[in-house]
Amino acid sequence: KQEVTQIPAALSVPEGENLVLNCSFTDSAIYNLQWFRQDPGKGLTSLLLIQSSQREQTSGRLNASLDKSSGRSTLYIAASQPGDSATYLCAVVGGGGADGLTFGKGTHLIIQP
Amino acid sequence: EAGVAQSPRYKIIEKRQSVAFWCNPISGHATLYWYQQILGQGPKLLIQFQNNGVVDDSQLPKDRFSAERLKGVDSTLKIQPAKLEDSAVYLCASSHTRLRGGAKNIQYFGAGTRLSVL
C-alpha cells in the first residue's frame, strides 16, 4: 500500500526567504507526482505535475523535483510572499490501473510579512 | 471555463441520519472522483468513475456509502446511516480522461462539502 509522508508538518518563515518542502513515498512504481495548494475553505489547486520519466518541473517561483528511485520529491519556493501562505499537499498516482491520487498530510506554510 | 461545482457547502446532521452530496464536473470531463478529507489529513480517494462506470471503489465503505453517476455527468455521494467519524470535507474532482500513454490528466477539485455529524 502506497504511503506518502510530508516533512515538515508546519513551517513559518519571514517573507523573502527561499524554502523547501519535502515529500517521500514508499512505492516507487508511480505514474506521476503532483503538488497542490489548499487554502482554507477552498478546494485544491494543482501547482506542478511531474511525470515519472521527468526529473523536475518549474512554474514561476516554484520548482519541483522528483527522484523516483529513492521515493522523494521536493518543492522549492523562491522569494516567498505572504500570499504563499497555505497548506501544500503532495500526491502520487500509482502505476496500476486506477488513477486516484494518494496524498500526504500536507505542510502548513505561513509566510510572515 | 466553469470549475467543479459542489453542493451543499456545509451540512450538519445527527448520527444515524442520511445525507447526500452533489457534484457537477467540468464540462466534457469523463472521469470523476470523490475524496474524503478528515481534518489534519490529506484527501483519501473513495471512488472513481469513468463516464457512468466505476473504475475503483476499493476504499468506499460500502455498508454505508454509495455513489452514482447515472448519465455520466453529475454525481451524487450518499451516506446512510452517518457515523461521527464521517465528519470530514467531501471533495469532488474531475479530469478530462483517464491516465494513458503519457497524458498528464490533471485533476481539478471543487471547493468541497463540509459535513459535521453530531
Mean pLDDT in residue range B53-80: 94
Task: Tell which of A45, A57, A99 to mutate to test the B interface (max B CBs under 10 Å).
Answer: A99
Q: Which residues of B touch A93 (CB under 8 A)?
A: 99
Q: pLDDT for A35-83, tens place per residue?
A: 999 998 788 999 999 988 899 999 999 999 999 999 999 999 999 999 9
Range from A86-90, A92-96, B48-52, B84-88 carrying the lowest mean pLDDT = A92-96
- Mean pLDDT across chain B: 92
Over residues A99-111, the pLDDT tens digits come to 889 999 999 999 9
User: 3-class SS at B85?
Assistant: helix
Contact B81, B17 (CB under 8 A): yes
Helix (H, G, I), strand (E, B) or coil at A82: helix
Distance from CA of A88 to the nearest CA of B (A): 10
From A99's Cα to the closest Cα of chain B, the distance in A is 6
Distance CA(A100)–CA(B38), nearest Å, equals: 17
Residue B92 distance to chain A (closest CA, Å): 9
Q: Determine, for residues B104 and A32 on separate chains, whether the beta-carbon distance falls below 8 Å.
A: yes
pLDDT value at position A31?
86
Terminal Cα distance for chain B, rounded:
37
Q: How far apart are CA B33 and CA A91, in angstroms?
A: 14
Q: Which residue type occupies B94?
A: S
Q: Report whether A91 contacts A34 (CB < 8 A).
A: yes
User: Distance between CA B111 and CA B91 in Å, rounded?
Assistant: 7
Nearest to B30 by CA among B101, B97, B93, B76: B97
B105 vs A5, A59, B98, B101, B102, CA distance in Å? 23, 17, 7, 11, 9
Distance CA A81, CA A73 (A): 22
- The residue that leads in pLDDT, B69 or A96, is B69
pLDDT score of B98 more than 90 = no
Number of A–B residue contacts, CB under 8 Å: 64
Of A23-37, A69-83, A91-105, B40-54, the least confident = A91-105
Give CA–CA dist B106/B95, Å, rounded. Answer: 6
Query: pLDDT class for B26, splitting at 50, 70, 90?
Result: very high
Q: Do A103 and B43 touch (CB under 8 A)?
A: yes
Of all residues in chain B, the one with the smallest CA distance to A6 is B42
Interface probe with B: pick from A32, A101, A107, most Cβ of B within 10 Å: A101
CB proximity A92 to B under 8 Å:
no
